[in-house]
């Protein structure tokens, strides 16, 4: 009898081991696939911003997108990942209530620092850290791409790269540590909930961009002497609209990366969950993201009939519900997204009245709508648990408002300070002559259209 029980126990243990291995392999593959999907976001930004630039600046805008991606990845590797695990409780580097934060923890887990340096490179015993880091690194790169569109056609390349490194390697990562981490003080003390990162990615990046724009100034010819704004249209609207649609495709990977899957060290009860440990599933994403896309487009179409704002409305629709896409009923998602589409053009107009030249509406789409989405969640989901576990803090309008204030301060403050220092050293804006001639002519050893800018054939008479 004892031998049979021992044999049965061995069989159960073998099954559990096999199940754990399967879960871990699935988790590894899951996060691995989010990475190329999120890279599609950058392909979209590349097309979007080149199309939104005038022909004389098209390749320069593309170069900045490529460099942002290239520089933010190592910045996040060497600094950002450590910040995420070291800063959740504030600037004290102390251990949080769940014991997964603080300087000691960060030294052990963050790649390139402390104890974890021994695990740099291939490590067959670690199936998840590298791909989980990769997903986070792509969130970091996305913040720089959000900022890049706002500043096209007049920012210096080196100055832009420095701004991208600060934003992707530090600014948004601090926000993520505080509000996208189970030990984060904004979560623990205020019940901040931002599942899809409407605030801590989109709003932080947008307000960082606003801080840069204040010091950078508008493009030559954007504003008249009486303060009225002129339209400086890009050279290729179809490319811009297509780029925005590509960003939407990549957004599915972005939101996949916000889900914690059931896997060995990352399991919250063996099921899908948010990064806060609250339950969710991919079905919630499927319903709500599609409804948000439709709602955002419809709202922008009703307000503008403009294809640029319609496609921006699709992105705004997703951002407007991103904080609570794990909680919303699809009908509510649609209503919130329609509101976001309706807000876009008026909000962009208000920004122009203050003399801010946001070339692609990034501050509006990502910043204004990100804050709108955060606050809407505080109203519609008040009382829901913001964190998994017993005695968890709950979502509230006050808590979401506090989160918004922190995100705006982090983004605007670090963006303004970084760009102000660059401006002091004459590293922020290109000379007037270079801007008038076109950055492709003076900064890029190639031409977007060497045989001349394509034009439509004249109508037959």
Where are the alpha helices (H) located in 362-396, listed in sequence order? 362, 369-380
The H or E element containing residue 260 is: strand 259-260
CA–CA gap between residue 43 and residue 243 (Å, rounded): 7
φ, ψ for residue 382 (rounded to 5)?
-55, 130
Signed CA dihedral, 367, 335, 387, 248: sign only: negative
344 and 312 Cβ atoms separated by less than 8 Å: yes
Tokens of 424: 């002091």
Phi-psi group of 293: left, alpha or beta (phi > 0 → left; psi -120 to 50 → alpha; rest → beta): alpha
Tokens of 54: 């005038």
Phi-psi group of 384: left, alpha or beta (phi > 0 → left; psi -120 to 50 → alpha; rest → beta): beta
The H or E element containing residue 59 is: helix 58-75
CA–CA gap between residue 46 and residue 364 (Å, rounded): 19
Residues 6+ apart with CB under 8 A from 437: 56
Task: Give the CA distances from residue 78 to residues 31, 75, 108, 137, in Å, rounded to whole numbers and listed in that order.
Answer: 20, 5, 14, 11
Give residue 18's pLDDT. 45
φ, ψ for residue 259 (rounded to 5)?
-95, 135
The H or E element containing residue 259 is: strand 259-260
Task: Give the CA distances from residue 35 to residues 138, 180, 191, in Å, rounded to whole numbers and listed in that order.
Answer: 7, 19, 29
CA–CA gap between residue 73 and residue 287 (Å, rounded): 32
Question: How many alpha carbons lie under 13 Å from residue 20 in its C-beta half-sphere?
Answer: 9
CA–CA gap between residue 88 and residue 151 (Å, rounded): 31
Tokens of 245: 């649609």
CA–CA gap between residue 166 and residue 205 (Å, rounded): 11
Residues 6+ apart with CB under 8 A from 388: 182, 268, 273, 276, 277, 278, 279
Per-residue pLDDT of the chain (461 residues; tens, 9 = 90+): 666 556 655 544 554 444 444 566 777 888 888 999 999 999 999 999 999 999 999 999 999 999 999 999 999 998 899 999 999 999 888 999 888 898 888 887 776 555 565 555 666 556 567 778 888 999 999 999 999 999 999 999 999 999 999 999 999 999 999 999 989 999 999 999 999 999 999 999 999 999 999 999 999 999 999 999 999 999 999 999 999 999 999 999 999 988 887 654 444 555 788 889 888 888 889 999 999 999 999 999 999 999 999 999 999 999 999 999 999 999 999 999 999 999 999 999 999 999 999 999 999 999 999 999 999 999 999 999 999 888 899 999 999 999 999 999 999 999 999 999 999 999 999 999 999 999 998 888 888 888 776 655 554 54
CA–CA gap between residue 97 and residue 30 (Å, rounded): 28
The H or E element containing residue 273 is: strand 273-274
If you compute the radius of gyration of the chain from its CA atoms, what whole number of angstroms results?
23
Question: How many alpha carbons lie under 13 Å from residue 437 in its C-beta half-sphere?
Answer: 12
CA–CA gap between residue 386 and residue 409 (Å, rounded): 22
The H or E element containing residue 318 is: helix 307-322
> What are the tens digits of pLDDT across the range 273-324?
888 988 888 888 999 999 999 999 999 999 999 999 999 999 999 999 999 9
Give residue 17's pLDDT. 47
Residues 6+ apart with CB under 8 A from 7: none
Name the nearest CA neighbour of 117 among 131, 128, 127, 106. 106
Task: Give the CA distances from residue 224 to residues 209, 220, 287, 326, 437, in Å, rounded to whole numbers and listed in that order.
Answer: 23, 10, 46, 46, 20
φ, ψ for residue 229 (rounded to 5)?
-100, 145
Return the domain boundaries, the chain: 2-116+127-260+269-443
CA–CA gap between residue 241 and residue 348 (Å, rounded): 18
* DSSP letter, residue 456: P
CATH superfamily of 2-116+127-260+269-443: Ammonium transporter AmtB like domains (1.10.3430.10)
Other Cβ atoms less than 10 A from the Cβ of 265: the count is 11
CA–CA gap between residue 89 and residue 55 (Å, rounded): 47
CA–CA gap between residue 296 and residue 317 (Å, rounded): 4
Task: Give the CA distances from residue 214 to residues 113, 118, 144, 418, in Å, rounded to whole numbers and listed in that order.
Answer: 36, 43, 17, 12
């Amino acid at each position: 009898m004892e031998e049979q029980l021992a044999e049965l126990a061995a069989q159960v243990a073998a099954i559990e081991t096999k199940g754990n291995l399967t879960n871990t392999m699935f988790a590894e593959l899951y996060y691995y696939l989010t990475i190329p999907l999120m890279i599609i976001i950058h392909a979209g930004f590349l097309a979007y911003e080149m199309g939104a630039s005038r022909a004389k600046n098209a390749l320069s805008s593309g170069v900045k997108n490529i460099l942002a991606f290239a520089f933010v990845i190592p910045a996040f590797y060497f600094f950002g990942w450590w910040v995420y695990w070291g800063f959740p409780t504030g600037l004290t580097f102390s251990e949080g209530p769940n014991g997964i934060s603080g300087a000691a923890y960060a030294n052990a887990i963050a790649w390139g620092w402390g104890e974890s340096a021994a695990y740099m490179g291939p490590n067959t015993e670690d199936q998840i850290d590298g791909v989980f880091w990769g997903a986070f690194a792509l969130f970091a790169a996305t913040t720089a791409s959000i900022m890049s569109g706002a500043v096209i056609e007049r920012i210096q390349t080196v100055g832009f790269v420095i701004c991208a490194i600060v934003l992707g390697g530090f600014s948004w990562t601090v926000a993520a540590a505080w509000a996208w981490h189970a030990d984060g003080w904004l979560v623990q003390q205020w019940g901040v909930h931002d599942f899809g990162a409407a605030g801590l990615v989109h709003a932080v990046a947008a307000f960082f961009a606003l801080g840069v724009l204040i010091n950078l100034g508008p493009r030559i010819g954007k504003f008249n002497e009486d303060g009225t704004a002129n339209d400086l249209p890009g050279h290729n609207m179809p490319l811009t609209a297509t780029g925005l649609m590509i960003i939407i495709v990549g957004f599915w990977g972005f939101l996949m990366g916000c889900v914690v899957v059931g896997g060995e060290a990352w399991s919250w009860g063996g099921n899908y969950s948010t990064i806060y440990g609250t339950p969710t599933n991919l079905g919630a994403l499927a319903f709500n993201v599609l409804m948000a896309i439709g709602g955002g487009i419809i709202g922008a179409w009703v307000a503008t009939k403009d294809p640029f704002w319609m496609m921006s409305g699709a992105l705004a629709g997703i951002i407007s519900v991103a904080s609570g896409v794990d909680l919303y009923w699809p009908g509510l998602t649609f209503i919130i997204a329609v509101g976001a589409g309706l807000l876009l053009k008026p909000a962009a107009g208000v920004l122009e009245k203050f003399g801010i030249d946001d070339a692609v509406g990034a501050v509006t789409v990502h910043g204004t709508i990100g804050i709108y989405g955060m606050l809407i969640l505080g109203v519609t989901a008040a009382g829901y648990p913001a964190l998994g576990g017993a005695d968890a803090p709950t979502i509230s309008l006050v808590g979401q408002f506090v989160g918004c204030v922190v995100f705006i301060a982090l983004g605007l403050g670090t963006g303004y300070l970084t760009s102000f220092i660059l401006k002091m050293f004459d590293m922020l804006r290109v000379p007037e002559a270079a801007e008038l001639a076109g950055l492709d002519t003076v900064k890029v050893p190639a031409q977007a259209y060497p045989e001349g800018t394509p034009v439509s054939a004249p109508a037959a008479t």
